[in-house]
Amino acid sequence: MATKTEKAAPKAAKTTTKPEAKAAPAKAAKPAAAKAAGTKPNALQQPLKPSAELGAIVGTSPLARGEVVSKVWDYIKKNNLQNPQNKREIVADDKLKKVFGKDKCSMFEMNKHLAAHLKA
């Protein structure tokens, strides 16, 4: 059993050196042009044709789903169609009623209604 003096005695200072950071091996970069040329656009980038009702808001030319949502939000903000007490709720005007099928819609269910008006 060790005595108190042995426990309290300072230990010999260890000389520690930090290991030097090793350089990570460089990964071979794939050319972006070759990757883009051989792949098909994913579902969010696929151009879709809007219905006549949705076309009154976003235009009739084929658009990617993200662009459609962006244009609908631009329309909502331009025409001040968000409920002031609950910004997540959209109060539909005549054009949006045709798309949503009801007077009010939450921003979370808006995409469900828009998907019904987009075709490949």
Structural domains of the chain, with CATH: 49-119 (1.10.245.10)
2-53 pLDDT, tens digit each:
555 555 555 655 566 665 656 555 555 544 544 555 577 677 788 999 999 9
Q: What pLDDT was estimated at residue 34? A: 46
SS3 track for 71-110: HHHHHHHHCCCECCCCCCEEECCHHHHHHHCCCEEECCCH
Q: Give residue for tokens 């910004």.
A: 87
Amino acid at 29: A
77-108 pLDDT, tens digit each:
999 999 999 999 999 999 999 999 999 999 99
